[in-house]
Chains A and B, each alone.
Chain A
Amino acid sequence: MHLGMVIDLKRCVGCQACTVACKSENGTPPEVLFTKVLEQVAGEYPIIKKKFIPVLCNHCEDAPCVRVCPTGATHKREDGIVLVDHQKCIGCRACYVACPYKNRIFLQKGSLKKGYFGKQLTPFEQVKYPKWQEGVVVKCTFCVERVDQGLDPACVQTCPADARVFGDLSNPESKVSRLIRQRGGYQPLSEDNTEPSVYYLE
């Protein structure tokens, strides 16, 4: 099995519902976003073109972050999901710098001491924060706890435009494989030979 995601840029409306769903699912501290929607604008008024690009960890087949990690904290599961073992991470940020997509976040010292409403953590933050550690690198896990239960990642589940599709890339009959085949799905920065598991459709 090789899990991956297809993102249809024609469907994405830039509502950031995926961003919020991800934060809600993972309970990440302020300024830590595992997924977000970027805007890209070209041209000058009145001839303007705007594109929304949802981004997240691409769980690359040949992930530079896995290669450069000196401790083995960043590792890849059998199903292709790239994870960080927070107990092993030393916070050297070699992976952060090596990721061509800049989709890794370093949890600074003190980042878990304050929440969205100041130093007093909300009950939600009090429940979610214990799973994080300061001084380590964190990133999107494809909502691995949900995937292990047979569910889609939170961003896929919540997308109102069905712009995100999650599935098995190794199965030629899966929806993701068919979309890539029929619509000419392409990988971001394919010239870097990282073989991302996230494909985009135009």
Chain B
Amino acid sequence: MPLVASEFVSGFRLQTEWATLIAAAFFFGKIGAGLFLMSLFTGSWLGALLGLLIVLIGKGGAHLLYLGRPERFWRGLTKPGTSWVARGFWAMLIMMVAGAIFLALPPGSAGWWIAEVIAGISAFIVAIYDGFLLNASPSIPLWNTAMMPVLCLFYSLLGGTSLTLFLINFGLATVRIQEAFLSHMEIVLLITNLIAVGLYLISMTHATAAARKSLQLLVGGTYAVPFYGLAIGVGLVFTLLMAYFVGVAGGPGVVGLITAADLVGHYFIFFLLLRVGVYKPVLGQLTI
């Protein structure tokens, strides 16, 4: 049964509502939260501040631009009991407040420790809740998998590590961790992400017909070129080769290139996963 475009024909249908802006919000949320978490780990004040700003301006801005009624955005806090949108909003809010307190207080004080823990936990939730949000939709089998939060976590940590290395190499941040350790961590995360994406795609080959339809679009259809070229090629393979063979020894230019390639891949993989979401036919397939 093919994908249908006509509104009056039954069949598999593409999801069209969540695309560019939601992908941008997911992207900024994950790299911002990842950078914030890595900054807590490495002790980078500037990194933590940038992480907060990326989440606030990038993620918050993309969500506000997307909302049909942005003036009512505060209502999105109402139902955290059942809605991952509301939970994510709460996590963002707590991350902003606790993060700002953490940055403002003198390091080592009791308040600083408490703020660090709360901000860290909420940043972790911001990093992964997109995965739970997508996983919670039974409508699109490609997203309705427990692999989603895992992918979000690994991509978030990878983005955070790349950006931290970028800040260090451009002389914008000093950290208490050795740069070589972060460089190795980036390589391990790149390999982990490649494996995670591979496992996710393999799991979809055994999923429902709609998930397989999504998979066909992603790996062999309209979206195959950006998937192989940008999400996998530039985002993971090129980044891995550059990080492994050249890495931080290549200087700021190479680290900048690695970071840019990683971010391009990061944006496109989630953008493409949103674009290839396919709904099932309402009453299944008609047979003779």
Contact = CB atoms under 8 A, between A and B. Distances in A.
Interface in A113-137: 133-137
Contacts of A134: 68
Contacts, number: 142
A106 B77 CA distance: 21
Contacts of A42: 285-288
Interface stretch (A83-91, A159-167, A173-181): A83-91
Interface residues of B, number: 44
A41 B9 CA distance: 9
Contacts of A151: none
B282 A90 contact: no
Given A67-B82, A200-B283, A98 B138 contact: yes
Contacts of A38: 8-10, 282
Given A39-B10, A40-B286, A200-B283, A70 B69 contact: no
B213 to A, nearest CB: 14
A92 interface: yes
Contacts of B15: 97
A99 B139 contact: yes
A94 B285 CA distance: 27
Interface in B2-61: 7-11, 13, 15, 17-18
Given A64-B139, A67-B136, A70-B83, A33 B288 contact: no
B17 A70 contact: no
Interface residues of A, number: 51
Contacts of A107: 68
Nearest to B66: A92
B223 interface: no
A90 B67 contact: yes
B259 to A, nearest CB: 31
B220 to A, nearest CB: 24
A91 B83 contact: no
Contact of A71 (B17, B79, B139): B79
Contacts of B7: 33, 36
A1 interface: no
A134 B72 CA distance: 13
Given A70-B77, A71-B78, A200-B283, A97 B18 contact: yes
Contacts of A72: 78-79
A96 B136 contact: no
B69 A49 contact: no
Given A38-B10, A100-B279, A101-B282, A68 B67 contact: no
Contacts of B281: 40
A180 to B, nearest CB: 16
B76 interface: yes
A40 B10 contact: yes
A200 B67 CA distance: 35
A192 interface: yes
A70 B10 contact: no
A173 B69 CA distance: 45
Nearest to B13: A102
B268 interface: no
Interface in A25-78: 33, 36-43, 47, 49, 51, 53, 55, 64, 66-73
Contacts of B170: none
B137 A68 contact: yes
A89 B68 contact: yes
A37 B6 CA distance: 12
A202 B242 CA distance: 60
B69 A136 contact: yes
Interface in B237-288: 277, 279-283, 285-288
Contacts of A36: 7-8
Nearest to B144: A192
A68 B84 contact: yes
A129 B280 CA distance: 32
B150 interface: no
A193 interface: yes
A68 B78 contact: no
- Top 4 nearest A-B pairs (CB, nearest first) are A91-B68, A135-B68, A70-B86, A70-B85
Given A33-B7, A90-B75, 10 more contacts: A38-B10, A70-B75, A70-B78, A71-B76, A91-B67, A92-B67, A97-B17, A100-B139, A106-B17, A135-B67
